Chain A
């Protein structure tokens, strides 16, 4: 049995790397393991529109020489069809023995995890939203600052969502908006009060995408390749942090070591996993699980010998198409492809939705043709003329409206069952109506029938299956993220969030992981 590590961290996604920094910086011997999948293809270099107009081999990165894009026609997110991102999603459910029936289970075995494919939306939880967390808001605040500054966030501007995002003190100005969003933004400036009557507040999106160069990463140049891979590395990925960590001599990185079990051997915890060289158990003083909510929960339930079911939260989500008739016929322009404008939408006392608007130019038209109730030939005609004046939007509801559960079978398989609370349908139709009225005020039409509710799980915001509680019980974690019933094993990904708001949650995973890392340092020094 290998020895000598203070801490083993399972997973190099945003959660894993964030928990690693405080430990590594304090000089501890840290081992980080992950599933090891790597990107094989290169990101396009020219701007999206230039490549489309010139590149004779564009089908290599758009469809894939193995026809990758055609293998996943039923997946909700277009990202699951992008050939370059194939390694991000491959093999996760199989390696982690996850079986989902009524749930779209997405996860990653890649270096950097799902952050290779994420939408970069970030937000901080307010002290209000942190109220059910078992620690004071002031305890996580420095962690929010640390991770925000480290990853590089843009979007700071004094607008109606400044407080909602709560990050502006640590972030750069926003990336330039395209014509469509500028129009909406301009109209919003004149109609703020009308929109607030519909419960809608708007602001620039806060995104972990660079507006200014940072070391080897470069500012967004509006090339429009966000979906296809940013060769400038303007979009944050946990692999950026992984690179930083690897500069520390007391940090050991073992890629491609898939953990199958967590056990206690004597007085210490250990992870049992395998790579090409075979199966191995590695022991340390502490183990941190950050393999993604589903995989982490499986490892925890198995170690605790709990069958469950335990509840998990995920955000009911919908997507829609917004048309700006006044912009009909404008030229497509190079644009940032992730969130440009965001909105908070009040739905009932204490219940709100959150969403963002995106420029769709970089998304293949085929993605929209599929949903049009017209012959494809004419659907293409229409979308070709229409899409240059459209933006796409999404909306998320709080995770407590999910009824998802996780349970273990005898064979050690994690069974995921998804579902929505009965209130979701009425909330979604209310959201659709309010957004339609609000955008109408801004001169935009929420296209009829375009508002589509996603299957449970397609939001890819999974959390709170092992929630932190001040008085934890079985299947829960304490305020420091330590699993009840399994001493020295900590949970530092979405699984340990106490609750899941409608906001983008990954920044909170990271801040909480940083906080857990710091707490772990204390636990270790106390025990010495």
Chain B
């Protein structure tokens, strides 16, 4: 697949490019200046007026470029450039995905929100897809997220607005997955998709989490009434207001909650918990789930599972079971054969037994349906024969018996051995 990304050097664009490339896509950055990290580049400027021509064979266009400061470009110019881009995508037969904003609204208080709304209409009219993300966070310290992290690092306190705005965060990489899904799925129709935590969280809690999980410091919340901020905003005049970011703060106070649950499901993504999203690697959950996949599949296959099978298991758990890893100990991760201690054991271990059984069965089903699994399950390409079979059966029975004995002996420590009790479940 060949995809073009406007705003590829931005906070979201950058992560989108990485995600697309990790899936083997050819990525073309459409930015004002060449982006060193991305191979192909075409010039794209929101204020240019000439017709745009997409490179041959482009399958999809992600339109991320926007004037976030509302200082330089007026709404009309930005809409015009979107129009030209949409026309170019249509000419090339490419899908069009536009990253809008939670603030998008016909009569939004901010120019930013009004412009987004205008462009949304153009995109929808042309059969494209619109994504409205909530508060984007995680990954590099850029965008509003970067500003917040830096502020939290520098200051010993932070404002706890009263009443606290309710936000719906989404990790930048989860957003990138959602965007890619829009062009990968054959089923999605032209529509607006709202993505972000289905249950809004208060902005104060969000800042507190940044302090705890990212900055690793205690920060004192100072109550600040929202009315005060608004008054101040009125006082300093339009120019200064835009410059100091009061407009964006204003839109934070005016956020309307989005219904995201159904859209997330349609896009096939599960949001990572904020706690792991805020950690530097950003994918603690994923890492644990990959470890679980490796352990389960290795237990089943008796050899190292292929990378593709691991990611299939991970996707399966994300899609079907909510995506949280089981609390397996690192011992179990390192020595998958010890899963025999839990397999078919009485449910005396704290591992959400039914879920454990479901996943182990899923691992069997998924492992079997591979070329690797055909060898393991059907002996395809392996020697067979009477003696081999007898030996195999005898060995399996002995091992089973052996593990049963170990299970009995180890029963007092089984829990601490196999489960990670430090992690919240």
Contacts and interface: CB of A to CB of B under 8 A. Distances in A.
| A associates with B | yes
Interface of A: 49, 52-56, 58-59, 62-63, 67, 69-71, 73, 328-332, 361, 364-366, 369-370, 373-386, 388
Please classify the interface of chain B as helix (H, G, I), strand (E, B), loop, or mixed, using the class held by over half of its residues.
helix
Residue of A59, A329, A385 with most chain B CB atoms under a 10 A cut-off: A385
A379 B300 CA distance: 10
B384 A377 contact: no
A374 B374 contact: no
Contacts of A388: 379, 384
B106 interface: no
Contacts of A54: 371
Nearest to B342: A375
Interface in B399-415: 399-400, 403
A377 B299 contact: yes
Contact of B365 (A69, A329, A375): A69
Interface size class of B (residues with CB under 8 A): 35 or more
Residue of A62, A330, A377 with most chain B CB atoms under a 10 A cut-off: A377
B1 interface: no
A57 B390 CA distance: 32
Those 8 A-B pairs whose CB atoms lie nearest each other, nearest first: A381-B396, A329-B386, A62-B369, A59-B369, A52-B374, A385-B389, A375-B343, A329-B389
A331 B365 CA distance: 23
Contacts of B344: 373-376
Contacts of B362: 67, 70
B392 A381 contact: yes
B369 A382 contact: no
Interface of B: 299-300, 302, 312, 316, 319-320, 337, 339-340, 343-344, 358, 360-362, 364-366, 368-371, 374, 376-381, 384-390, 392-393, 395-397, 399-400, 403
A365 B340 CA distance: 19
Nearest to A361: B378
Contacts of A59: 312, 366, 369-370
Given A375-B340, A377-B302, A63 B365 contact: yes
B381 A53 contact: yes
B378 A332 contact: yes
A376 B379 contact: no
Nearest to A330: B384
B392 A385 contact: yes
A330 B386 CA distance: 7
A380 B369 contact: no
Contacts of A381: 392-393, 395-396, 399
A372 B197 CA distance: 42
B289 to A, nearest CB: 15
Given A67-B320, A329-B389, A380-B376, 20 more contacts: A56-B370, A58-B371, A329-B384, A329-B385, A332-B379, A364-B377, A365-B368, A365-B377, A365-B378, A366-B364, A366-B368, A369-B364, A375-B340, A376-B299, A377-B300, A382-B393, A384-B376, A384-B378, A385-B379, A388-B379
Nearest to A386: B393
B387 A329 contact: yes
B378 A378 contact: no
Nearest to A48: B378
14 contacts: A52-B371, A53-B374, A59-B312, A62-B369, A67-B316, A67-B362, A331-B384, A361-B378, A365-B377, A375-B403, A382-B397, A384-B376, A385-B393, A386-B393
Contacts of A364: 365, 368-369, 377
Contacts of B397: 378, 382
Given A59-B312, A380-B377, A386 B358 contact: no
A383 B364 CA distance: 13
B399 to A, nearest CB: 5
Nearest to B309: A59
B385 A70 contact: no
Contacts of B370: 56, 58-59
B386 A328 contact: yes
B300 A49 contact: no
B144 to A, nearest CB: 36
A141 to B, nearest CB: 45
B396 A378 contact: yes
Nearest to B336: A377
A386 B394 CA distance: 11
Contacts of B393: 381-382, 385-386
A56 B370 CA distance: 6
A67 B339 CA distance: 24
A329 B383 CA distance: 9
Contacts of A55: 371
Contacts of A53: 371, 374, 380-381
Contacts of B337: 377
A380 B387 contact: no
A384 B369 contact: no
A347 B370 CA distance: 44
Contacts of B376: 380, 384
Residue of A67, A370, A375 with most chain B CB atoms under a 10 A cut-off: A375
A384 B316 contact: no
A49 B320 contact: no
B342 to A, nearest CB: 9
B384 A380 contact: no
A381 B366 CA distance: 17
A11 B388 CA distance: 52
A380 B395 contact: no
B109 to A, nearest CB: 42
A376 B343 contact: yes
Nearest to B388: A329
A114 B370 CA distance: 29
B316 A70 contact: yes
Contacts of A329: 384-390
A382 B399 CA distance: 11
A73 B270 CA distance: 23
B293 to A, nearest CB: 14
A334 to B, nearest CB: 12
Contact of B364 (A56, A332, A376): A376
Nearest to A81: B365
Contact of B319 (A67, A330, A369): A67
A375 B381 CA distance: 25
A378 B312 contact: no
A373 B365 CA distance: 17
Given A67-B320, A70-B316, A70-B320, A49 B380 contact: yes
Contact of A377 (B340, B366, B388, B392): B340
Nearest to A387: B378
B368 A384 contact: no
Contact of B300 (A69, A376, A385, A386): A376
A382 B371 contact: no
B266 to A, nearest CB: 13
A378 B386 CA distance: 18
Contact of A384 (B299, B340, B343, B377): B377
Nearest to A62: B369
B360 A52 contact: no
A332 B362 CA distance: 25
A329 B387 CA distance: 7
A382 B392 contact: yes
Nearest to A58: B369
A62 B366 CA distance: 9
Nearest to B407: A375
Nearest to B396: A381
Given A375-B400, A378-B397, A384 B364 contact: no
A463 B240 CA distance: 81
Contact of A70 (B339, B365, B400): B365
